[in-house]
């Protein structure tokens, strides 16, 4: 029983982090209708930021979240403003190749700059556990999940309540309409891309103590973010949260029941099922679909 409870609990915690990654992907898609195929690379940049902050200042893993998010916000803003902006009206496959090329450049740059060796954060904190009854919850993972949920909640509030947030949502709903009422669309888009990639960067800093950082982790993160987003409903923020938790728990459960090496079968199976049966995602709205 402890086995099942422990594994599922870990799945939930991982799911929260997946949700944060997916949140970034889905907000970019929801507003600009662009699929960021280099999203995983952004996570890896965040991981390197987390690693190097720890290596230089021996900081607590959570302390790297803000700097990593800020760095990725800047990268996202500049990328959108100067590069991706010109591709918004282009067909999907051109956007796809653009992001694939970006992904290659980032991976190559990581390899050149930091080498292929995995960089692990060794701190006693990463071995701590919280005990709740018979349940042992890994401290780093719990903190990462809590931080991820907090960030998601803050962003949610920001999009609902702030002026800029409302402008972003207006732009998502109606591009020309937003332009008519005087929203500086290019700036709003760049901020959105910045926020989306900052989510990836923050998630990267959060997982840096969990997975050792190396240049080739990215495709895995991109794939998991895709599956999460489609499950929840593309463009839907609560959907990303739900999708993340679902994937986290599904993979954990699959690792218990099936051979653990087959656990992604369940994610892909779920993905196909949702696409066929409910293409708008579990709680997405039909307009989210393109």
Partner 1 sequence: MIRITRRAALAGAAAALAAPATIRAQSAPVKVGVILPTSGVLAVPGQASRRGIDLGARMIAEAGGPRMEVIHADTASRPENGRVAAERLIREGCTVLVGAWDSGTTISAAQAAEPARIPLVVNIASAPQITEQGFSMVFRNFTPANVLIRNAVERIREFGQITGELPRTAVLLHVNDTFGTSIAQAVSALWTQLGIPIQIVETLSYAVTARDLSAEVARAKAANPELLMPVTRVNDAILIVREMVRQDFVPKAIIGPGSPGPYEKAFTDAVGRFGDEYMVCVPWHNPRNPRTAEVLQRFAREYPNERFELNVGFSFEAMEIVADAIRRAGSGDPAALHAALRTTDIQDHIMYGGPIRFDEKGQNNNIGGVMLQNQNQEPKVVGPAEVAEARAIYPLTPFRNRR
Partner 2 sequence: MRRGAIAVAAFSGLLALGPLVLDGYLLSLLALAFAFAFFGAAWNLMMGFAGMLSIGHGLYIGIGGYTVAVLLVTFGVSPWAGLPLAGLLCAGLGAAIAWTGFRFAVRGVYFALLTLAAAELARILFEHWPFVGGTGGFFLPALPPGNVPLLTLRGGPEFFYFAFLLLLTAALVLTLAIRHSRMGYRLMAIREDEDAARASGVPVLRMRIAAAALSGGMTGIGGGLFALMNGSLFPNTMMGVAISIEIMIAPIVGGLGTVFGPAIGALFVMPVHELSEHLAQEAGVFGLNTLIYGLLVLLVVLFLPAGIGPSVARLLRGRR
Q: Is 161 in the site for partner 1 (CB under 8 A)?
A: no
DSSP code of 70?
Answer: H
Indicate which of partner 1, partner 2, none lies near residue 157 (CB less than 5 to 8 Å, by partner kind).
none
Q: How far apart are CA 63 and CA 221, in angstroms?
A: 22
List the beta strands (DSSP E) in the chain: 129-132, 135-138
Q: Is 286 in the site for partner 2 (CB under 8 A)?
A: no
Tokens linked to 55: 């290596």
Q: Considering CB under 8 A, how many residues would be counted as binding partner 2?
A: 44
Collapsed DSSP state (helix, strand, coil) of residue 135: strand
Output the CA angle 88-91-92, nearest 5 degrees: 90
Q: How far is the CB of 279 from partner 2 (least distance, A)?
A: 6
Q: How far is the CB of 109 from partner 2 (least distance, A)?
A: 6
Window 18 to 47, contacts with partner 2 (CB under 8 A) = 35
The torsion region of residue 58 among left (phi > 0), alpha (psi -120 to 50) and beta comes to left
Choice from 256, 278, 279, 283 touching partner 1 (CB under 8 A) = 256
Q: How far is the CB of 240 from partner 1 (least distance, A)?
A: 18
Tokens linked to 148: 């991820």
Choice from 2, 128, 268, 285 touching partner 2 (CB under 8 A) = 268
Q: Is 272 in the site for partner 2 (CB under 8 A)?
A: yes
Listed ranges 76-84, 86-94, 262-270, 280-288: which one lies at the site for partner 1 (CB under 8 A): 262-270
Q: How far apart are CA 122 and CA 114, in angstroms?
A: 18
Helix (H) or strand (E) holding 1: none
DSSP bridge partners of 137: 130
What is the CB neighbour count within 10 angstroms for residue 42?
34
Question: Residues in the site for partner 1, rule: CB under 8 A?
Answer: 3, 6-7, 10-11, 14, 111, 115-122, 124, 126-129, 136, 138, 210-212, 214, 216-217, 220, 251-252, 255-256, 259-264
Question: Residues in the site for partner 2, rule: CB under 8 A?
Answer: 35, 90, 92-94, 96-98, 100-112, 115-116, 215, 219, 223, 226, 230, 234, 259, 261-262, 264-265, 268-269, 271-272, 275-277, 279, 289-290
């Amino acid at each position: 029983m402890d086995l099942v409870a422990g594994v599922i609990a870990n799945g939930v915690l991982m799911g929260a982090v997946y949700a944060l990654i997916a949140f970034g992907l889905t907000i970019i898609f929801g507003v600009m209708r662009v699929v960021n195929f280099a999203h995983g690379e952004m996570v890896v940049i965040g991981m390197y930021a987390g690693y190097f902050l720890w290596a230089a200042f021996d900081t607590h893993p959570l302390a790297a979240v803000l700097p990593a998010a800020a760095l990725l916000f800047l990268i996202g803003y500049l990328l959108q403003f100067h590069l991706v902006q010109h591709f918004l009206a282009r067909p999907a496959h051109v956007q796809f190749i653009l992001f694939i090329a970006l992904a290659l450049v980032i991976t190559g740059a990581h390899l050149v700059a930091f080498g292929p060796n995995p960089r692990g954060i060794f701190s006693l904190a990463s071995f701590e556990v919280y005990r709740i009854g018979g349940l042992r919850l890994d401290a780093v993972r719990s903190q990462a999940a809590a931080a991820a949920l907090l960030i998601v909640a803050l962003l949610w509030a920001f999009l609902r309540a702030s002026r800029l947030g409302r402008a972003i949502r207006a732009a998502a709903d109606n591009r020309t309409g937003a332009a008519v009422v005087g929203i500086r669309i290019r700036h709003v888009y760049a901020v959105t891309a910045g926020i989306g990639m900052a989510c990836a960067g923050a998630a990267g800093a959060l997982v840096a103590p969990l997975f050792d950082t190396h240049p080739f982790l990215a495709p895995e993160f991109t794939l998991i973010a895709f599956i999460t987003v489609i499950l929840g409903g593309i463009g839907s923020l609560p959907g990303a949260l739900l999708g993340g938790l679902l994937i986290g728990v599904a993979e954990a459960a699959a690792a218990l029941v099936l051979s653990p090496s087959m656990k992604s079968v369940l994610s892909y199976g779920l993905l196909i099922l949702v696409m066929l049966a409910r293409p708008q995602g579990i709680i997405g709205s039909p307009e989210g679909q393109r």
